[in-house]
A and B are shown apart, each in its own frame.
Chain A
């Protein structure tokens, strides 16, 4: 029990370093993390964060107007993450492939941000992943095959994303298709009208060339 007392104080110091890192990696315009103060006697507030940091299994920072990128090192800080929810923030940059190191992830929710680039193939290695959403971002490229049976809803709102469960890659985008169809229709209409015009005007030579008479 004496040893246990010593252990718990060492673990608390590492936890503070961990949380500092998370806080430093995110911009916090509303100061929501401002009460994460890193003074000597601040261990008490950690109680609100359900115990120790290395053993943190759920991190939900959703709906917070946080900006910056998803920290690539997050899985080395929090190797036992089971749920990571960063949805509905202002996060940008790409989804780090290093998220594949969070091998116990069951739920990864990144929807409603400004994430760009493609969905890393390495995320297919997350064998416990049950819930995955990147809807409403700026992602592009092919969705990794392991997600082909996911719901479309999880990928909606990314105009550049393709592949199952969305439409096939290599197809023209909807916008391009609309332009082409519109151009085709206009061209056809113009041709028909020109044709009519020609026959109506020049087919009756008397009208076109009255001087010929």
Chain B
């Protein structure tokens, strides 16, 4: 009987340790991001890696199983680069780092975030190509990469994302052709304006004064209201 009790206690301890380790993997990934960013306003001071999990960190939301579902840090004067570790947040649904000064490339590991519904990295200083791996995000509804310095072509893989509702690639340095098949059938020149892309000859040019993305920081109060809790 005593042996049974001690075996049970050991099992509980072991399980607790295992759970602690798994909980920390996501916290470690976000902490790696924090280490790679400069944070002059100390917006990420609550990101304490000694906690069991990152679920009580500000700007981080978890589900009932303490797995990260949302990371939203906007207009926080962050600079530095994104990290491949972000691809470990497999339950992530919303990733929004809008209006910072983040540079470097979009990690192709973001293609592993198969639960992602919203990816908004708009208004930063990102460079390099849009990873083809983003085509694996089969639940993606909103993809906003506008107002960066992205180059290269638009990956055809994005046209296979049937859930895609909103795509904004405007104000980058993308080149090549604009796909019109698959999910891109519902996209208009507004999504692609201010790039180096080839518009088909019959396309009316988008109006020169482009609507600024609703998530852009502007002096207009109502646009800030509109962008609250959207992607």
Q: How far is the CA of A11 from the CA of B220 in the complex (A)?
A: 12
At the interface with chain A, which of B84-92, B127-135, B148-156, B182-190?
B182-190
* 9-residue interface stretch from A2-10, A23-31, A187-195: A2-10
B202 touches A (CB below 8 Å): yes
Contact in complex: B207, A44 (CB < 8 Å): no
B160 shortest CB reach to chain A, Å: 17
Please report which residues of chain A, range 110-145, place their CB below 8 angstroms from some CB of chain B when the two chains form the complex: 128, 130
A73 in the interface, Cβ–Cβ < 8 Å? no
Q: A21 an interface residue at 8 Å Cβ cutoff?
A: no
| Residue of B with least CB distance to A83 | B186
Contacts of A82 in B (CB 8 A): 186, 188
Is there contact, CB below 8 Å, between A51 and B202? no
- One of B186, B188, B218, B222 near A47 (C-beta < 8 A): B222
A10 to B207, CA, bound (A): 12
User: Nearest Cβ distance between residue B4 and chain A, in whole angstroms?
Assistant: 63
A8-B220, A10-B209, A79-B204 as given contacts; A51 in contact with B214, CB under 8 Å:
yes
Given known contacts A80-B189, A82-B186, A104-B188, A54 and B222 CB-to-CB distance under 8 angstroms: no
Shortest CB–CB separation between residue B145 and chain A, in angstroms? 17
Whole-angstrom CA separation of A121 from B209 in the bound complex:
34
**A43 an interface residue at 8 Å Cβ cutoff?**
yes
Does the CB pair A11–B185 fall under 8 Å? no
Q: Which residues of A contact B186 (CB under 8 A)?
A: 57, 82, 104, 106, 128
Expressed in whole angstroms, the Cα–Cα distance for A9 and B220 within the complex equals: 8
Q: Is B64 an interface residue (CB 8 A)?
A: no
What does DSSP make chain B's interface, helix, strand, loop or mixed? loop
Q: Is A159 an interface residue (CB 8 A)?
A: no
Q: Which of B180, B189, B218 has the most CB of A within 10 A?
A: B218
Give 5 nearest A-B pairs by CB, closest first. Answer: A80-B188, A5-B219, A52-B211, A47-B226, A104-B188
Interface size of B by CB at 8 A reads 24
Within the complex, the shortest CB–CB distance from A106 to chain B, in Å, comes to: 5
Known contacts A8-B212, A8-B218, A80-B188; 4 further A-B pairs (Cβ under 8 A): A47-B223, A51-B226, A54-B211, A103-B203
**A4 with B218, Cβ < 8 A, contacts A51-B211, A52-B211 known:** yes
- B212 with A4: CB separation less than 8 A: yes
Q: What's the Cα separation between A10 and B210 when bound, in Å? A: 10
CB distance from A38 to the nearest CB of B (A): 15
Given known A51-B226, A82-B186, contact A11–B180 (CB-CB < 8 A): no
List which A1-57 residues lie within 8 A (CB) of chain B: 1, 4-5, 7-12, 43-44, 46-47, 51-52, 54-55, 57
Interface string of B217-230 (1 = CB under 8 A from A): 11110110110000
In the complex formed, the residue of A with least CB distance to B186 is A82
Please name all residues of chain B whose beta carbon is closer than 8 Å to the beta carbon of A8 when the two chains form the complex: 211-212, 218-220, 223
Q: Could you tell me the distance in whole angstroms from the C-beta of A110 to the nearest C-beta in chain B?
A: 19
Residues from chain B with Cβ under 8 Å of A103 in the complex: 202-204
Which residues on the B side are within 8 Å of A104 (C-beta)?
A: 186, 188
Residue of A nearest to B99 (CB): A1
Chain B residue at minimal CB-CB distance from A104: B188
Question: Quick check: B220 and A12 within 8 Å, CB to CB?
Answer: yes
Is B216 on the interface with A (CB-CB < 8 A)?
yes
A54: chain B residues within 8 A (beta carbon) = 207, 211
- With beta carbons under 8 angstroms apart, the residue of A55, A79, A106, A128 that contacts B211 is A55
User: Once the chains bind, are A11 and B190 in contact (CB under 8 Å)?
Assistant: no
> Is A128's CB under 8 angstroms from B220's CB?
no
Q: In whole angstroms, how far apart are the Cα atoms of A5 and B209 in the complex?
A: 12
Give A189 to B220 CA distance when docked, in angstroms: 83
Given the complex, which residues of B lie within 8 Å of A47, measured CB to CB?
A: 222-223, 225-226
Interface 1/0 per residue, B89-123 and A, CB below 8 Å: 00000000000000000000000000000000000
